[in-house]
């Protein structure tokens, strides 16, 4: 385990130890003493260099599980049946919570039609999708956080809460993203980041957006599909990053298509990636369709390409079409 990660877990365990000692001064609950012993044992494993190593097979314990519970001692392959049932129950609850954070499946507001496809590779996803009305127009947020599984879904929830709170302040888009970046950078581990598109659409067809290292946004219209690239680095990489705002004007019937790398990095049986070029070609063929039909057309093209190859990543798409 890297030194920075060891320092992080050591700090977390020391904080928990202090709280347990404080609680023990006012309570005789035996479970608190048991927890204190577990924390001390975990701190000892850090000192001995065995922290994060499964005590049965001696392989590394899944990092996302350590982030959720720094007392974990066994990898997923060596959980007891009781632990497996508890984990399954937690995952089901996490999936329900995550579904509750998604926007309505059909949204029409401020002169825009919005549809999305959100498909986790497992019970929960690290993809981020949110759309809601503000005083300044329709705010849309779409991205992909680093990692997979529960840890990634927790980062996604963190972003959701951060932007929902900042949106209430009616900040200019650049200031909002830069504030969110500072919060995200200061509250996550090194190596945890998110590629993200944050935009605002108004009823006159104007769109402003920031792309924090995300895949190209596609502007679809009668003249074809235009790629709009990133305007900054991923969120969480550097505390003081700046995120320039890109301006677009969409005519009636034009649309924006945003997607995660679960689409572009999907592979066929020959291990060939689907790629941005194929996304653009599929989107051009279906640009005049309604948003849900545009998404369905892209997914159908992807399915034909992969031809049954198992998907390894979360897959999400978002379409915003200016109403005619």
pLDDT tens profile 246-268? 999 999 999 999 999 999 999 99
Are 105 and 74 in a shared domain? no
**Is 84 a domain residue?**
no
Give the separation between CA 147 and CA 63, rounded to whole angstroms: 10
Are 49 and 106 in a shared domain? no
Q: Tell me which residue range forms the domain holding 20.
A: 3-79
Domain ends where: 33, 49, 79?
79
Q: Of the candidates 189, 199, 167, which has an alpha carbon nearest to the alpha carbon of residue 180?
A: 167
Task: Report whether pLDDT(163) > 80.
Answer: yes
User: Looking at the 3D structure of the chain, how many domains does it have?
Assistant: 2
**Is 142 a domain residue?**
yes
Task: Read off φ and ψ for residue 232, nearest 5 degrees.
Answer: -170, 180
pLDDT of residue 274: 97
Strand pairing class (217-221; 255-259): antiparallel
pLDDT tens profile 215-251? 999 999 988 899 999 988 999 989 999 999 999 999 9
Domain ends where: 46, 79, 112?
79
pLDDT of residue 4: 76
Q: Specify the CATH number for the domain of residue 56.
A: 1.20.120.910
CB-based contacts of 55, cutoff 8 Å, min separation 6: 73, 74
Task: Report whether pLDDT(324) > 80.
Answer: no
**Is 34 a domain residue?**
yes
**Is 90 a domain residue?**
no
Are 125 and 199 in a shared domain? yes
pLDDT tens profile 190-201? 678 999 999 999
**Is 94 a domain residue?**
no
Alpha helices in the chain (DSSP H): 3-25, 30-48, 63-68, 81-101, 149-167, 173-186, 261-264, 275-285, 291-306
Percent of the chain with pLDDT over 70: 99
Q: Specify the CATH number for the domain of residue 290.
A: 3.60.40.10
Are 116 and 50 in a shared domain? no
**Is 318 a domain residue?**
yes
Are 283 and 215 in a shared domain? yes
**Is 27 a domain residue?**
yes
pLDDT tens profile 81-103? 888 888 778 778 888 888 989 99
**Is 91 a domain residue?**
no
Are 135 and 44 in a shared domain? no
Are 162 and 289 in a shared domain? yes
pLDDT tens profile 12-60? 899 889 989 988 887 777 888 889 999 999 999 999 999 999 999 999 9
Token reading at 190: 């090194």
Q: How many CB atoms lie within 10 A of CB 303?
A: 12
Q: Provide mean pLDDT across the span 165-176.
A: 93
Q: Of the candidates 62, 73, 64, 116, which has an alpha carbon nearest to the alpha carbon of residue 94?
A: 64
């Amino acid at each position: 385990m890297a030194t920075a990660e060891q320092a992080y877990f050591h700090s977390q365990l020391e904080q928990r130890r202090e709280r347990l000692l404080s609680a023990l001064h006012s309570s005789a609950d035996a479970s608190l003493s048991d927890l204190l012993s577990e924390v001390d044992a975990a701190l000892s494993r850090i000192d001995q260099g065995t922290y994060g190593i499964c005590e049965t097979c001696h392989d590394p314990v899944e990092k996302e599980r350590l982030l959720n519970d720094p007392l974990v001692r066994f990898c997923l392959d060596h959980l007891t049946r009781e632990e497996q049932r508890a984990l399954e129950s937690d995952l089901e609850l996490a999936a329900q919570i995550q579904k509750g954070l998604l926007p309505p499946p059909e949204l029409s507001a401020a002169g825009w039609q919005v549809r999305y496809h959100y498909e986790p590779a497992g019970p929960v996803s690290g993809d981020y999708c949110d759309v809601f009305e503000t005083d300044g127009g329709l705010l849309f947020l779409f991205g992909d956080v680093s990692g997979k599984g529960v840890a990634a879904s927790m980062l996604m929830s963190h972003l959701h809460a951060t932007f929902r709170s900042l949106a209430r302040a009616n900040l200019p888009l650049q200031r909002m993203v830069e504030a969110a970046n500072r919060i995200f950078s200061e509250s996550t581990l090194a190596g945890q980041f998110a590629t993200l598109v944050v935009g605002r659409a108004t009823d006159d067809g104007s769109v402003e957006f920031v792309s924090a290292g995300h895949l190209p946004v596609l502007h679809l219209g009668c003249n074809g599909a235009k790629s709009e690239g990133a305007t900054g680095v991923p969120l969480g990489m550097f505390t003081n990053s700046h995120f320039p705002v890109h301006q677009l004007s969409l005519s009636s019937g034009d649309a924006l298509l945003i997607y995660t790398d679960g689409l572009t990095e999907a592979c066929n049986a020959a291990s060939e990636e689907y790629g941005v070029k194929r996304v653009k070609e599929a989107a051009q063929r279906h640009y005049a369709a309604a948003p849900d039909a545009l998404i369905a057309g892209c997914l159908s093209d992807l399915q034909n390409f992969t031809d049954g190859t198992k998907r390894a990543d979360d897959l999400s798409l978002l379409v915003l079409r200016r109403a005619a």
